[in-house]
Structure 1
Amino acid sequence: MLFIVVITLLLNGCNCFLLADQTPRNVTQQLTVTNGGDSGTWGVKQFCPSRQFAVGYDIKVETYQFTGDDTSLNAIKLICSDANGASFAKQTITSSVGPWGDWKGQVTCNQRPEVVMFLKAFSLQVESPQGNGDDTAVNWAKFDCRDMQDSTPMEELNKDPGHGSFGTFGAWSESCRPGSAICGMMTRVEPVLTNTGDDTALNDVIFYCCQEQDPEILG
């Protein structure tokens, strides 16, 4: 089955690859940043339905604990839409989720009648390792919205208040190439430690870009 799909993609001139443990999508890029944390394990890759892409996001954040153990960002959720920007189904996807905090509420790219915007790149606010101090790893996430063909300038999408309590934003990831947008994700989350451990929850994330037209999968 996978062999047949790969041949189909090559014949169609697709510069893409398939992820063996998921329903195939035209995955053209993996977006990463350099400041992610290194604790925890990677969760399951999750993707928007075929021919749908991310138009917004939500984040699960634990508020500042004062004298308690802070974990800050625990999860990221993507809001999926078709290529016309219709998020009528309001389908969302997420990968591994930490147990602390609350969802902050969905935000989406600024859609206009003449242009549909999608998530194209991201940046993470990350606290560096604190030694004997309280580690939190990722504190916040923001995204770059553009239209599918990159004919519009970047519009930053950042959930208010726009930052967490610790760390700084790193450099932006690469951007999905023209004709593609973010379609999937995988998060790295540290499992719950013992009562004496220093929990950090979400440490890193990978986002996947898919081209606008998925291949016709043979089977």
Structure 2
Amino acid sequence: MHHLISMMFSLLVITGLQVSVESAGKRSERSVNRHYRLELTVPHGGRWGSWGPREMCPAGTYAAGFSLKVDKAPYAQKGDITALNGIRLHCIDALSSLLRLYHDYSSVRSDVGSWGRWTDIKWCPSGFLNAFLLLVEKPQGAGDDTAANTIAFTCSGGSLLQGDGTNWGDWGKWSHTCVGKAICGIQSRIEEPQGEGDDTALNDVRMFCCD
């Protein structure tokens, strides 16, 4: 009897560990060739750098949250702040969104800059990300250029989420809004490190809508 109880206890422990690991897991697979319905852009993105690859959420999932890689004081380069360096989309399926279960998600990103730290994830209280707005600083001449500083999204449930980036520049116009389901992919424009020159990192971004 004691042996049976011991076996059952061991099984419960093992099962508990598996649930804990799976709950904390963040699937890394993505659907590079996933079909998208609409490309979202804004007209005032920065002009430097080149476009990285398009990265898509796994099939059946959509972006319900995001996090940013931001370069700012006190850990920025002295005299050369690059502000927004990267954007990650965090993707879940429709059932997880409905039940507000955010523990099992996939993270996708396009190219990112070399500086900064990742912020905490901001999640839609309900629904998925479906449009975005970019804060961009115009070229500063002899001053320190930062290009894109932060991003904001609307959620299909009606909420507005603004990223924890820096605050230089101007908000332009909103992108179009996804017709159908939600944002499911991202592509970013990044300027490579300039050596002794002025670095700007992330300049522009595109989002993609899937049914």
* TM-score strictly above 0.5: yes
CA offsets 1:87-108 (integer angstroms, 9 cap, x no match): 4422100000101010111010
SS of the residue corresponding to residue 133 of structure 1 reads: coil
Q: CA deviation at 1:23?
A: 2.1
Residue type of the alignment partner of 2:174 = W
Distance 1:87 1:67 in 2: 37
Distance 2:49 2:187 in 1: 13
Q: CA deviation at 1:132?
A: 1.4
Distance 2:77 2:105 in 1: 35
Whether the 8 Å CA contact 1:57–1:79 is kept in 2: the answer is yes
Q: Which residue pairs with 1:45 in the alignment?
A: 54
Distance 1:129 1:45 in 2: 26
TM-score using structure 1 length: 0.76
Alignment partner of 1:80 is 2:91: yes
Aligned length: 175
Cα RMSD (Å) of the superposition? Answer: 1.7
Q: CA deviation at 1:67?
A: 5.1
Identity of aligned residues (%): 42
CA offsets 1:142-181 (integer angstroms, 9 cap, x no match): 100014xxxxxx3101134xx513112111110001x220
Q: Which residue pairs with 2:209 in the alignment?
A: 209
CA offsets 1:128-153 (integer angstroms, 9 cap, x no match): 01111110000001100014xxxxxx
Residue type of the alignment partner of 1:207 = M
SS of the residue corresponding to residue 91 of structure 1 reads: strand
Q: Which residue pairs with 2:44 in the alignment?
A: 35
Q: Which residue pairs with 1:11 in the alignment?
A: none
- Segments of structure 2 that go 5 or more residues without pairing to the other structure are 1-30
Distance 2:202 2:171 in 1: 15
Q: Which residue pairs with 1:90 in the alignment?
A: 105
Distance 2:174 2:88 in 1: 19
Q: Which has a greater percent of helix?
A: 2
